[in-house]
Chain A
């Protein structure tokens, strides 16, 4: 069996959704048949990002909110790598949302797992962009004033080529989404409903089970953007599954230079500037 984890023990709270997401990642890597050196994980800062010490693969534990740009850089350097981003709703939808839009629009071939627990948990439970309006948190004692951010609708309207939602309470289903996301050539966003038993008492596993709805059980066509958008706007139920999937050229495939090999291997031992020097004479 291929080693998937390090010798370090996870530091998450008992019952944290991150255990399940890590389980789904391990299962997906197995199903994809990826060796540890064939994958690179970029971790944002947050409870989710603390996974950095536990996954046995090349890793880059980035700055808060800045998990996506290094992932695009790593994919550019070596497009043979499967590149993952482990990020939360705070980093992905708040501090770093501009990068989300940029990578989605550019169709950078990375798989983004947003551990969406609807709170900032590593900083002890303040509101996040996805916290429901009115919820009381330490930074919003009178209730959240802002309307929540809609990640799926945002991704869909910004040309994300693969948009899905999973649930940490259903590992086999989430594993399928991960495998599909990695196999999709281009940007994939997987928003993962993640219970936080420590700080988000209003949304335990049972609450999610009552509110989720499996897309593969209703007749949804993932090629239908308008239907996907309509589903993403639903608030009474939380559909999970693949909302949208469309083939589109990944960012790095726009460069002929990368057709012959990976950028990190391109020779620099001999550089010839002859072709550009004449114009300065």
Chain B
């Protein structure tokens, strides 16, 4: 498989991410499958920022430790097997605009990788389309100067790659955050409410910028408590709503999570994980919130916890979450992380057209009596009137309540309502909505890696180097798909969990739900996502 890993590094404010994205798009359009990821500290100027693009003629799903070609803006060098001096400032000045030095470096990179400069120039034209035409002209000139300089001076250093030689059809470049945002819209989300927090701020930016086109309302509210409670109000009012935050903001939303649980109000929460506790490492990745998401808020109530592994799953699950929340009248938590959210993948373009139906909305008449909103039913789901309709008057109550919603401290009523709510878990597990854990690689293997969420990419990329090894990937974690998981592991002799936390939270969950103790674990909690090389090395150590 032809593959290369290109990286650009510089200070914050130098346009590292923009340059990286342009490089990635150029590679994508040249027929390469790509995965782009950015590393940056929590500051606006200075520091050390990077953007890496791994490209392959076969699908790539993760980053790579080994860098083949590094553009270092600080020292004006391109580093392959040895550093090559590139007169960035001089060539940028020749283009007529000193600010084009990144473009010079990218032009030179195209020459060294063998990417068609015309494709890069087209990407430049699109990137600067809204600006004065002279910007595009200068950047085109800069790209050409960089390309020509490298072609002339570093001809013998050119990477020996066989270009894919075909264009990718129906493939797009998308990050997990954008996929989550679009999936939610596809699922009928009409209200998005958030308070900025890395790594999910891009969802807020994307949806706010496109709100009019997408026919949705976006609100940046006063704090995460206001965010969650306003979304619950909108959900009570009949609007499919979503919020997104990271662990700190989610901690503030926890009381509202229980509110959605007891009032049986649909709510979708994206929890974009990053290392914690408290402020932790804001701009880095982690998977430390799995058990928190499953157990957050006092006492017990049903919820669904999902964990997409790539943008395609992110889109599908964000759409599904909107429907699940309404159908089962409960909170749905989507566990994402910085790796998925801010990682740019090559993915199949999602379909443009989507259909949805409304669930469990009560047909109300003109009855002058209160409506039995919390009627005990076999499924645990009760018809829900929407405020404003005659005949549907009810009280949604944060207190324990009777079938009409009125507060009660009666022991029998309490048990009835608890049982009714928890019944939904059984209903969900028996439904077609459940997404079972899935095997990648051989159906039966000597070694089975068990993982969840965004680790999928690194493990998939490691599998070709791991003989007789397969992956069980959980995209749905709660309610735990017990029967499906037991069936999957029945013929797998050796299980090893792979997780981005320090204590093996999925292992604990599996032990709790199945009684199966998985002894072997590959864990990582240094703030970085898994690389395929680390999965391979980790297995050797066990």
Contact = CB atoms under 8 A, between A and B. Distances in A.
A36 to B, nearest CB: 6
B240 A268 contact: yes
Most A-side CB within 10 Å, residue of B178, B222, B357: B222
Contact of B213 (A76, A268, A276): A276
Interface of B: 172-174, 178, 182, 185-188, 190-191, 193, 210, 212-217, 219, 221-223, 225-241, 255-256, 259, 263, 349-358, 368, 370, 386-399, 405-407
Contact of A71 (B221, B233, B238, B399): B233
B256 A78 contact: no
Contacts of A66: 225, 229, 255-256, 259
B354 A74 contact: no
A264 B389 CA distance: 11
Given A37-B388, A37-B389, A270-B354, A263 B256 contact: no
Contacts of A59: 394-397, 405
- The contact size tier of chain A is 35 or more
Given A40-B387, A280-B172, A70 B210 contact: no
Contacts of A80: 388
A277 B217 contact: no
Contact of A271 (B172, B186, B358): B186
Nearest to B239: A77
Given A63-B255, A270-B354, A99 B396 contact: no
A3 interface: yes
A280 B178 contact: yes
Contact of A99 (B222, B259, B393): B222
Given A37-B392, A263-B190, A269 B238 contact: no
Given A69-B228, A99-B222, A269-B356, 16 more contacts: A37-B389, A40-B237, A53-B406, A61-B395, A69-B232, A73-B191, A73-B237, A76-B234, A77-B387, A98-B225, A101-B222, A271-B356, A273-B351, A274-B353, A276-B214, A277-B172
A201 interface: no
A263 B191 contact: yes
11 contacts: A50-B407, A58-B387, A60-B233, A63-B256, A66-B259, A73-B193, A73-B241, A76-B234, A77-B233, A257-B215, A275-B213
B226 A102 contact: yes
Q: Which 6 A-B pairs have the closest CB atoms?
A: A77-B237, A73-B233, A70-B233, A268-B188, A264-B238, A69-B229
B52 to A, nearest CB: 20
A78 B390 contact: no
Interface in A34-89: 35-38, 40, 42, 45, 50, 52-53, 56-63, 66, 68-74, 76-78, 80-81
A256 B213 CA distance: 12
A230 interface: no
A264 to B, nearest CB: 3
Contacts of B389: 37
B501 to A, nearest CB: 30
B406 A78 contact: no
Nearest to B219: A76
A172 to B, nearest CB: 27
B350 A58 contact: no
A73 B230 CA distance: 5
A6 to B, nearest CB: 7
Nearest to B255: A63
Nearest to A262: B388
A269 B215 CA distance: 13
Contacts of B407: 50, 52-53, 61
Nearest to A71: B233
A139 interface: no
A59 B216 CA distance: 25
A8 B370 CA distance: 12
B212 A280 contact: no
Interface in A248-281: 255-258, 262-266, 268-277, 280-281
Contacts of B393: 36-37, 56-58
